[in-house]
Structure 1
Amino acid sequence: MRRHSNASHLRMGPADPCDGDGCLRNLFCTFVCVTLSMILGLQMYAYLWGPTQISLEGDISDVGHVVLQLSHGLTEVNRKHERLQSEMERLSSVLPSVAAAADRAKDALEPAVRRTSALDAGDYDRQHADYALETAGARILDTGNTVEHVIHESVVSWALHTLVSVMCNECLGARAIIRPESLPGECWAFKGSRGEATIRLLGPVRVTGFTLEHIPKHIAPTREISSAPRLVQLEGLEIKRDPYPHDFGTFEYNRDGKPIQYFEVRNPTAKGFSMVRLRVHSNWGHSVYTCVYRVRVHGELAMRSAGDNPDMQVENE
């Protein structure tokens, strides 16, 4: 019985490490650990010294190139900024002299502007000779079939005006076009859009041009000048009812232009005429009447004989 107990005790002691199942398990664990270690080592090597490092170095090189380009760009921007700043400083130093020159030019031009404005007003007659001026001896000879537009205040005034019109071919209101006044209402108003006036000049004149005047819109009571003449014609006459007048041309008065408008004759001639006829063919739309404020005839007197006295001739015209 004792021997049997000892044998049993010996069989129940600690297992041998080289036993079949334990030995295989240890070998497998060792293999797995070694394999994992090798794989981990290879991954570390590839990450630190393999192609990934080469790609990383390429990326770092590209980033460095971009940074270098940006640095060059910033340097160029700074250079342009400095150049622009120097140009601004130069312009700032030049501007005072430019402003002074502009002021001098303005001061020099203002007298010319004043002279031009003056020519549009009363001083025009002081700058250009007018051979159709009544105060110098010109006269209205005839107005043809033109009917004067008059607003009669009573039957008596209408009867008197009708009687005078029948007895005298000279339209009394037409004298306004050869007088120096040109205030609103001081004009020759005739019915409709067609009319004519024959003017005896100071003497035989070689006509080079004429001016037609009307009031501007801003001083017209109605703020519009549709009664202004539009198409006008100037003719030179040898006698009062010359069947073959010389046509100087047909011209258009611009209602949006200056009040005094000069027209150079289109068919000039060296011949002098003592009479001219102004024909108005249309106006700017007024259906009742047309107004002509002033007509001036420009040119030069034709040559006279040596025995003629110019003062006496002008006085006898």
Structure 2
Amino acid sequence: MPRRSTRLDSQGYYDNEGRPIICYKEHLNRVFNSRCSRSSSFRSRAESTSTRNIHNNIITNMDKNIKSYKDSESNTNRPSNSNEIGDSYRNDVNNTSSNRHRNSRFSTIFNQNVFYILFCIIVLCFGFACREEFLLNKLNKETMTNFESQVNTLREEILRLNKVLNSLQPVADTMPNFALESQEARVLLDRSSQTYSKKGGCAYLFGIFCKRPVHPRTVLQGGSPRAVGRCWPFEGGQGHLFIALSHPAYISHVTLGHISKNLSPTGTIPSAPKTFSVYGMTTLDDKETYLGTSLFDQDGDATQTFELPDHGTGVFKYVKLQVESNWGHPDYTCLYNFRVHGKLAEVTDR
């Protein structure tokens, strides 16, 4: 009686007579295929060895397949014939092939899903980067817009403040002055009143003259603030000053300056001119052209500008200031500053 395996016998691989239920000779031709011509003895030995190896491998695979089959079946009945075992083996082979196909398909699907996920991640990253750049550009544009609006607001505020400051300045400081000595305007002494000098007011100390009379050109020197007593006096309440302008001009305004009552030691300015008139001439030989008469207010500003009613009647190179009266001083009248304003004449108009 051939030797039987206890493990295979317990699993039903032998019949009652001790022979294997399944014959594996049908698989030898499929598994073993000799491609070379060898001697019959060597071939028989090789076939015998290969047959044993194949038999052992098939039995081992059958053990695994039967075990998996028994685990998968809810019914634990043992196979009773060779056909059922063959069908089970073929089903296992088919299941293995199906599993391989399914695994291959799953691997393909998995690779596709991974590619799709990576693609989505790249798209999202690119989208976030573009969105960040867009927001940054938008923020920069909004910042520049806000900055430009702030600059425009500040510019408008500066212009408004300049207008306010200009309105606080004397009108005479906002117009050109054609009776300014630094611009080559000058006083014609032979056509002007005499400078007032008090008798006995001048003396010599060790042969040196201790008091100098003020020159009429002080009136054309401008400057601020005015020093008390730094003026040109002429005798009495009436007098005149003859000026050669720096440029021929259309005369529109004149400005007369004096110290205010606040700066006067006595609190009064009786030597200030009160009523005055202005005349213009193109040449020294021309007849004087009357331009207007004005009143200097002793209670007003220290610098007062007057518009001439007859301005624009011609181009004048010379101006005469005629003081008609003062504010009550019996001996002299003081002139601190006198300005002539207008528009510069063209060369063809001269």
TM (norm. structure 1) is 0.52
Match of 2:310 among 267, 270, 285: 267
- Alignment coverage as a number of residue pairs: 186
Supply the distance in 1 between the matched residues of 2:192 and 2:243 (Cα, whole angstroms): 15
In structure 1, the partner of 2:342 is 299
Identity among equivalent positions (%) equals 31
Pairing 1:175–2:224 present = no
Supply the distance in 2 between the matched residues of 1:200 and 1:259 (Cα, whole angstroms): 24
Supply the distance in 1 between the matched residues of 2:263 and 2:186 (Cα, whole angstroms): 29
Cα deviations across residues 197-230 of structure 1 (Å, max 9, x unaligned)?
A: 1111112111011111111110112211111001
RMSD: 3.1
Higher relative contact order (CA 8 A, sep 6+): 1
SS of 1:203 mapped into structure 2: strand
In structure 2, the partner of 1:118 is 169
Pairing 1:130–2:181 present = no
SS of 2:262 mapped into structure 1: helix
Once the two structures are superposed, the pairs formed by residues 34-45 of structure 1 within 5 Å of their partners are: none
**C-alpha deviation, 1:148, in angstroms:** 1.2
In structure 2, the partner of 1:203 is 247
In structure 1, the partner of 2:299 is 256
SS of 1:135 mapped into structure 2: helix
> Structure 1 146/305 Cα, relative in aligned 2: closer, same or farther at 3 Å?
closer
In structure 1, the partner of 2:267 is 223
Supply the distance in 2 between the matched residues of 1:178 and 1:241 (Cα, whole angstroms): 23
**C-alpha deviation, 1:119, in angstroms:** 2.5
SS of 1:177 mapped into structure 2: helix
> Structure 1 172/225 Cα, relative in aligned 2: closer, same or farther at 3 Å?
closer
Supply the distance in 2 between the matched residues of 1:237 and 1:208 (Cα, whole angstroms): 14
Contact 1:132/1:139 (<8 A) preserved: yes
In structure 1, the partner of 2:107 is none
Alignment gaps of 5+ in structure 2 = 1-158
Alignment gaps of 5+ in structure 1 = 1-107, 162-170, 309-317
Q: What amino acid is the match of 1:239?
A: T
In structure 2, the partner of 1:153 is 202
Supply the distance in 2 between the matched residues of 1:157 and 1:285 (Cα, whole angstroms): 35
Q: What amino acid is the match of 1:178?
A: L
Contact 1:210/1:263 (<8 A) preserved: yes
Once the two structures are superposed, the pairs formed by residues 3-42 of structure 1 within 5 Å of their partners are: none
**C-alpha deviation, 1:275, in angstroms:** 0.5
